[in-house]
């Protein structure tokens, strides 16, 4: 356990340096700009090498592609201009302590035509003026994309390859075609593989400790000793990929020197020469200093994003990985706290230098999302000891000062092991930033990962991926966001005997499970619902496995594989199952609404018998028009059991449902030799799926948002303590892919606010051996309703109003109106009383 | 037959008239399309759109660049088959048929006439919006639909009828 040397854990007197202030100001001023360099170079080199017309692409062929791209991509050391809203250019002062850039733009939109970039094709000419989250794009870029780049990928992006394969497989695997059809309806589930896998944490320690040259040398040795073509190809790919990254870094060094020669002042010249010297050394060779270590991480990060979509790639436990270098520099007198904060701030801004590609229609489902690059701090080490160190607090301070949505900071806390002062500081940062970091309970999370077969050491070394998904750092390839399942659709099909109101009653979707109007017991209906869930699980996993096989044939990832535990020993790429731990993750949407709906059906139809199932269905089909009294009765937590009120009936259903989903998914194999894990985080899909879904038996009207994550339904859980206990009572072993429990507090509350904040977290995290594992995760918004309403009316006045959505952080102004409404209408608790505050709906 | 005569007229016209004059004439045709959309005869609207596209390819060199190296075929139809038209692209040319051809690259089926109207009259026609609204089914390569939507929006933008 490293000693804490900081006299003030809040580091309050350490503020942003002028360099970082200038960069931060430019960051918030800049709008995202489309960058076509990656797409252009990948297309150009793919043509040269004849890739993507082949029936299969090997890791070595991919490595050759990336090697050439690294040779040709622009080595950006300093950005000189950016664009603000309206695509108006402005000059900026870029004196970042890091060189290199994910794209050629200060805030770029990288395009991955192998994946979903073609979805932007219809709106290329209006991207810069679209209402939500516009991207600046030039006429020339539109021309090049429309005429040169996109046509190349018409037949060979992942989505189309998957569709073609399902047509070919129709005789032997008819389910694949059905699954694709369900995907097209958008209301049953989404699968992210046409857009990405990503969603993992690389192991940077290899690159930091041995340098990329060391990794390449090891690969060459392994290749020389290999006895089969496939592993030889793989090791050759690793070595070539590492060479590519080194070459890029050296080009940055050359560019830095060139700029230094023309620098207008001595300080600028010295800074550029220092950059050149660093890039001469790392990431090729082992890092010797904190700054070199950070640079190695950054170079690997840029490389990883060349290969993998910028969706959910996460940086892991940087406070652990970089602590030895930090401590050494401090001990040698080469680094101060201010230096460390400045370096981290510059790196955080670099990490946030890109946004994901989201088409206009996608804004309704994913609006406002960043790239969800999670960083994890704190927790315990592999031996179970307190791992919180000085760097943990410095990273918290950097995050507090910058208030960026990306990287997305997550903090681990182990009750009884990590010091109370650390939890106090985590809650303090939440109050000050109003939304970050998310807090993860080590006890519950480690137990969840071990329940899936991980060793205790592996489980203890978890980091957070994307939104909230716990993943053993650098060794688990878990594609934690592979499927996003709309649980309400399974309920819908149970209610309407395998038909769905969105696709049209009269159109059979799944297998008949019977008319609920003739169910004599609740258990009969519950069984029908379970069958519908099982069917949907089968469809979703069939589709994910289909696309997984497409990735195996056409999208090996030698860069990421080089930075991972497992592939080097196994001689196989991550996509072939090279990782030590292989799994696939699911995010379930609509949990609370389904639990409450089932509880309502049980109570109203079968226990009280105050109405028939037929009458209930009539009311649902009418969207409660003419049935307002019923709707209010169903919404009334005093008359109808609700999840989140420690109600026995609702709790029993919640437990039953979570166990069922974990069992169904957990017993389903994926294409890499692992199994599926279930989580309850929703990004903004609870708004998107809610929009597509009709009225539900919990009193929700058609088109209204579902509830986010694993959170109880808004407005129906008046007691904070009961809500915390209800969620915490769910055994973490069923929730291994993570949960997002979104809690909103009224700000204010005086000096006692922080104490109460800490108390609430401790209550929630508390485990009772044999009875409850404690809550896994909790995240906060501490913003007054009035502030939200003002921000809706005047978004430009609130550019950095940070909110926790359902997993990731976002800027409130970037969310679509439906999502903004959902956040405003979340249950707001007054910490001084522990009760919900009553507000009218928006 | 009328369609063929009109195409011949436009081909001859390109030889003798300036692009700005021709653009003015095409805009006039496009206004007819817009009027059609605002009327009740949705069955003509698809054909008119494809016809306008075809004419634009003949007249506008910049717009014709969309055809470079492009081969593909589309069927646009309503679920009841009351509206059906096909567009074929090959050898830098487009041809339009007034019925659904066999084995197109992609078939876009609008579930109702209203769904078709919504798509065609949208400020920015977007197939993803139509999928979200459950207005359409797409069979075949969705990437081709993205390209078609780009061409349709490019056309309406050029003609000032978006």
Is B132 close to A163, i.e. CB distance below 8 A?
A: no
Q: Averaged over A144-151, what is the pLDDT? A: 97
Question: Cα A639 to the chain's mean position, in Å?
Answer: 37
What pLDDT, on a 0 to 100 scale, did the predictor assign at position A458? 98
A362 to chain B, closest Cα gap in Å:
8
User: Residue B88 in 3-state DSSP?
Assistant: strand
Cα Rg for chain B, rounded, in angstroms? 15
Write down the pTM of the prediction: 0.94
Mean pLDDT is lowest, of A67-71, A190-194, A246-250, B9-13, for: B9-13
Q: In this complex, do A121 and B157 lie within 8 Å of one another by their Cβ atoms?
A: no
Candidate from A125, A147, A157 with C-beta closest to B153: A125
Inter-chain contact B65–A362, Cβ cutoff 8 Å?
Answer: no
More confident residue, A131 or A710: A710
Q: How much is the average pLDDT of A735-764?
A: 94
pLDDT of residue B99: 87
Are the Cβ atoms of B132 and A186 closer than 8 angstroms? Answer: yes
Contact B126 A122 (CB under 8 A): yes
- Angstrom distance (rounded) from CA A351 to CA A345: 10
Give the bridge partners for A745, in sequence order: A829
Lowest mean pLDDT among A33-47, A171-185, A346-360, A547-561: A171-185
Q: What percent of chain A has pLDDT over 90?
A: 90
CB contact under 8 A, B141 and A155: yes
Mean pLDDT of A457-485: 97
Position A175 pLDDT exceeds 90: no
Per the CB < 8 Å rule, is A150 touching B68? no
Checking if the pLDDT of A641 tops 50, the result is: yes
Q: Are A483 and A544 in contact (CB under 8 A)?
A: yes
| Res A807: pLDDT | 83
- Distance from C-alpha of A711 to C-alpha of A740, rounded to nearest angstrom: 7
Encode pLDDT of B4-35 as tens digits. 555 656 666 666 567 677 667 667 766 666 66
Is the pLDDT at A550 greater than 80, yes or no?
yes
- Which has the minimum average pLDDT: A146-155, A680-689, A777-786? A680-689
- The pLDDT of residue A391 is above 90: yes
Give CA–CA dist A655/A662, Å, rounded: 11
Residue contact B134–A155, C-beta within 8 A? no
Task: Provide the shortest C-alpha distance from residue B5 to chain A (in Å).
Answer: 31
Span A667-671, mean pLDDT? 97
Interior/surface letters B67-98, b for 16+ CB within 10 angstroms, e for the rest:
beebebbbbbbbeeeebbbbbbbeeeebebee
**Taking CA atoms, what residue in A is nearest to B162?**
A126
For chain A, what is the mean pLDDT? 95
Who contacts A8 (Cβ-Cβ below 8 Å, separation ≥6)?
none
Q: How many residues does chain A have?
A: 842
pLDDT in the model for residue B32: 66
Q: Tens digits of per-residue pLDDT, A499-519?
A: 999 998 999 999 999 999 999
Kindly determine whether residue B150 and residue A361, on different chains, have CB atoms separated by under 8 Å.
no
What is the predicted pLDDT for the residue at A673?
Answer: 93
Cβ contact (<8 Å) for A163 and B141?
A: yes
Cβ of residue A124 closer than 8 Å to a chain B Cβ: yes
Q: State the smallest CA–CA distance between residue A119 and chain B in angstroms.
A: 6
pLDDT tens-digit series, residues A54-94: 889 999 999 999 999 999 999 999 999 999 999 999 999 99
Confirm or reject contact between A503 and chain B (CB < 8 A).
yes
Report pLDDT for A72: 97
To the nearest 10°, report the CA torsion of A73, A77, A81, A83.
Answer: 60
Residue of chain B minimizing CA distance to A116? B143
- Whether residues B150 and A121 touch (CB distance < 8 A) is answered with yes
| pLDDT tier, B2 (very low <50, low <70, confident <90, very high otherwise) | very low
DSSP result, A438-455:
EEEEHHHHHHHHHHTT--
Share of chain B above pLDDT 90, in %: 30
Q: What is the DSSP string of A691-759?
A: HH---BTTTBPTT-----TTPPPTTS--BHHHHHHHHHTS-GGG-TT-B--EEEE-S--TTHHHHHHHH
Q: Which of A50, A22, A240 is nearest to A152 (CA)?
A: A50
What distance in Å separates the CA atoms of residue A762 and residue A745, rounded to the nearest whole number? 16
State the average pLDDT over residues A778-789.
Answer: 94
Which residue among B65, B124, B144 places its CB closest to the CB of A154?
A: B144
pLDDT for the residue numbered B4: 54
The answer to whether the Cβ–Cβ distance between A119 and B149 falls below 8 Å is no
**A chain contacts of residue B70, beta-carbon cutoff 8 Å:** 151
> What's the count of helices (H) and strands (E) in chain B, helices before strands?
7, 5
pLDDT one-digit tens code per residue, A233-243? 999 999 999 99
Q: Give the confidence band of B98 by pLDDT, cuts at 50, 70, 90.
A: confident
Strands A189-191 and A483-486, bridge-based pairing: antiparallel
- The pLDDT, as a whole number, for residue B33 is 62
Q: Is the confidence at residue A165, as pLDDT, over 50?
A: yes
Cα within 13 Å of Cα(A55), Cβ side: 1
Instruction: Identify the band that residue A701 occupies on the pLDDT scale cut at 50, 70 and 90.
Output: very high
Check CB contact of A153 with chain B, cutoff 8 Å: yes
* Dihedral, CA of residue A730, residue A734, residue A737 and residue A739, to nearest 10: -10
**Cβ distance B89 to B96 under 8 Å?**
no
Residue in this structure with the two tokens 């857009």, named with its chain if needed: A195
Percent of chain A with pLDDT over 70: 99
Report the range of poorest mean pLDDT among A346-355, A561-570, A788-797.
Answer: A788-797
pLDDT tops 90 at residue A190 = yes
The mean pLDDT value for A368-396 works out to 95
| pLDDT bucket at A328, cuts 50 / 70 / 90 | very high
A122/B124 Cβ within 8 A: yes
DSSP A841: -
> Is A146 an interface residue toward B (CB < 8 Å)?
yes
Residue-wise pLDDT tens digits, B41-86: 556 778 888 888 898 898 888 899 999 999 999 999 988 887 789 9
Instruction: Say yes or no for a CB contact (<8 Å) between B128 and A119.
Output: yes
Confidence at A369, pLDDT banded by 50, 70, 90:
confident
DSSP B115: H
Choose the closest CB to B132 out of A121, A126, A361. Answer: A361
Q: Which residues of B touch A151 (CB under 8 A)?
A: 69-70, 147
Q: What pLDDT shows up at residue A17?
A: 97
Of A641, A653, A791, A779, nearest to A709 by C-alpha is A779
What DSSP string describes A176-201?
HHHHHHHHHHSSSEEE-TTT----S-
Q: Please tell me which of the candidates B127, B138, B150 has its beta carbon nearest to residue A124.
A: B150
Contacts of B141 in chain A (CB under 8 A): 154-155, 160, 163
Under an 8 A CB cutoff, do B134 and A146 touch? no
| Chain B contact present for A126, CB below 8 A | yes
Residue B68: closest C-alpha in chain A:
A147
Distance from CA of A396 to the nearest CA of B (A): 40
Q: Which residues of B touch A (CB under 8 A)?
A: 65-66, 68-70, 72, 124-129, 131-132, 134, 137-138, 141-144, 146-147, 149-150, 153-154, 157
């Amino acid at each position: 356990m490293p000693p804490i040397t900081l006299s003030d854990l809040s580091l309050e007197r350490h503020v942003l340096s002028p360099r970082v202030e200038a960069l931060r100001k430019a960051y918030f001023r800049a709008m995202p700009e489309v960058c076509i360099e990656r797409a252009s170079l990948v297309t150009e080199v793919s043509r040269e090498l004849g890739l993507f017309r082949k029936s299969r692409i090997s890791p070595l062929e991919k490595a050759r592609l990336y090697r050439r791209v690294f040779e040709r991509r622009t080595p950006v050391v300093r950005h000189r201009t950016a664009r603000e809203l309206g695509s108006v250019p402005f000059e900026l002062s870029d004196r970042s302590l890091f060189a290199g850039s994910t794209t050629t733009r200060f805030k770029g939109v990288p395009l991955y035509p192998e994946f979903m970039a073609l979805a932007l094709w219809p709106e290329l000419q209006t991207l810069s003026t679209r209402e939500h989250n516009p991207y600046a794009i030039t006429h020339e870029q539109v021309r090049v994309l429309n005429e040169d780049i996109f046509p190349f990928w018409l037949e060979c992006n992942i989505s189309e390859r998957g569709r073609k394969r399902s047509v070919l497989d129709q005789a032997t695997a008819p389910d694949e075609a059905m699954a694709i059809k369900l995907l097209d309806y958008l209301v049953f589930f989404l699968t992210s593989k046409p857009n990405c896998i990503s969603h993992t944490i690389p192991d940077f320690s290899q690159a930091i400790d041995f340098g990329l040259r060391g990794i390449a040398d090891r690969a060459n040795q392994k290749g020389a000793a290999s006895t089969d073509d496939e592993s030889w190809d793989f090791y050759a790919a690793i070595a070539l990929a590492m060479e590519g990254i080194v070459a890029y870094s050296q080009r940055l060094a050359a560019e830095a020197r060139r700029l230094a020669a023309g620098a207008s002042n001595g300080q600028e010249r010295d800074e550029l020469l220092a950059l050149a010297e660093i890039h001469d050394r790392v990431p090729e060779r082992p890092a010797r200093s904190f700054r070199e270590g950070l640079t190695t991480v950054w170079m690997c990060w840029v490389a990883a994003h060349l290969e993998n979509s910028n969706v959910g790639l996460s940086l892991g436990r940087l406070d652990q990985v970089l602590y030895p270098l930090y401590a050494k520099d401090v001990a040698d007198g080469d680094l101060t706290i201010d230096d460390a904060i400045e370096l981290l701030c510059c790196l955080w801004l670099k990490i946030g230098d890109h946004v994901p590609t989201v088409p206009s229609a996608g804004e309704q489902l994913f609006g406002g999302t960043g790239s969800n690059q999670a960083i994890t701090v704190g927790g315990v080490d592999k031996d179970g000891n307190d791992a919180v160190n000085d760097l943990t607090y410095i990273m918290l301070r950097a995050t507090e000062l910058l208030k960026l949505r990306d990287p997305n900071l997550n903090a681990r806390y182990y009750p009884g092991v990590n010091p109370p002062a650390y939890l106090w500081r985590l809650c303090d940062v939440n109050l000050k930033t109003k939304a970050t970091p998310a807090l993860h309970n080590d006890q519950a999370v480690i137990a969840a990962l071990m329940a899936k077969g991980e060793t205790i050491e592996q489980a203890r070394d978890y980091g957070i991926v994307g939104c909230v998904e716990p993943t053993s750092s650098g060794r688990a390839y878990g594609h934690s966001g592979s499927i996003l399942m709309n649980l309400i659709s399974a309920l819908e099909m149970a209610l309407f005997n395998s038909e769905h109101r969105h696709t049209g009653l009269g159109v059979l979707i799944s297998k008949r499970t019977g008319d609920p109007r003739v169910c004599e017991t609740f258990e009969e209906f519950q069984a029908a619902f379970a069958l519908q869930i099982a069917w949907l699980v089968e469809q979703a996993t069939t589709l994910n496995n289909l696309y997984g096989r497409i990735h195996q044939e056409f999208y090996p990832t030698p860069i990421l594989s080089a930075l991972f535990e497992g592939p080097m020993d196994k001689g196989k790429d991550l996509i072939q199952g090279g990782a030590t731990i292989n799994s696939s993750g699911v995010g379930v949407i609509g949990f609370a609404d389904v639990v409450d709906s089932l509880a309502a059906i049980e109570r109203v139809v079968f226990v009280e018998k105050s109405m028939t199932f037929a009458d209930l269905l009539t009311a649902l089909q009418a969207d409660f028009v003419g049935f307002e009294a019923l709707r209010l009765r169903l919404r009334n937590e005093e008359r109808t059991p609700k999840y989140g009120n420690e109600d026995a009936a609702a709790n029993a259903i919640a437990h039953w449902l979570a166990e069922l989903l974990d069992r169904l998914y957990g017993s389903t194999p994926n294409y890499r030799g692992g199994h599926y894990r279930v989580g309850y985080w929703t990004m903004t899909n609870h708004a998107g799926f809610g929009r597509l879904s009709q009225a539900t038996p919990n009193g929700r009207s058609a088109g209204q948002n579902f509830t986010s994550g694993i959170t109880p339904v808004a407005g129906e859980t008046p007691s904070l303590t009961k809500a915390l206990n209800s969620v915490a009572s769910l055994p973490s072993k069923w929730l291994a892919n993570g949960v997002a429990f979104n809690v909103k507090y009224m700000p204010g509350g005086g000096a006692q606010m922080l104490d109460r904040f800490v108390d609430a977290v401790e209550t929630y995290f508390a485990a009772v051996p044999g009875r409850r594992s404690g809550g896994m995760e909790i995240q906060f918004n501490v913003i007054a309703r009035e502030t939200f309403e003002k921000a809706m009316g005047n978004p430009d006045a609130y550019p950095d109003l940070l909110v926790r959505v359902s997993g990731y952080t976002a800027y409130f102004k970037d969310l679509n109106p439906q999502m903004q409404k959902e956040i405003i209408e979340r249950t707001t608790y007054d910490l001084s009383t522990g009760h919900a505050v009553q507000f009218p709906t928006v | 037959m009328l369609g063929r005569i009109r195409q011949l007229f436009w081909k001859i016209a390109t030889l003798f008239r300036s692009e700005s004059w021709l653009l003015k004439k095409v805009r006039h045709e496009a206004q007819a399309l817009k009027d059609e959309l605002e009327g009740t005869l949705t069955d003509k609207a698809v054909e008119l759109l494809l016809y306008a596209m075809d004419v634009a390819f003949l007249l506008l060199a910049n717009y014709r660049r969309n055809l470079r190296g492009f081969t593909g075929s589309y069927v646009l139809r309503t679920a009841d088959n009351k509206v059906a038209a096909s567009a074929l692209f090959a050898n830098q040319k487009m041809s339009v048929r007034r019925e659904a051809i066999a084995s197109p690259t992609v078939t876009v089926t609008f579930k109702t006439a209203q769904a078709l109207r919504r798509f065609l009259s949208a400020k920015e026609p977007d197939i993803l919006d139509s999928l979200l609204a459950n207005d359409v089914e797409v069979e075949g390569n969705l990437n081709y639909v993205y390209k078609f939507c780009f061409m349709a929006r490019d056309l309406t933008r050029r003609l000032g009828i978006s």
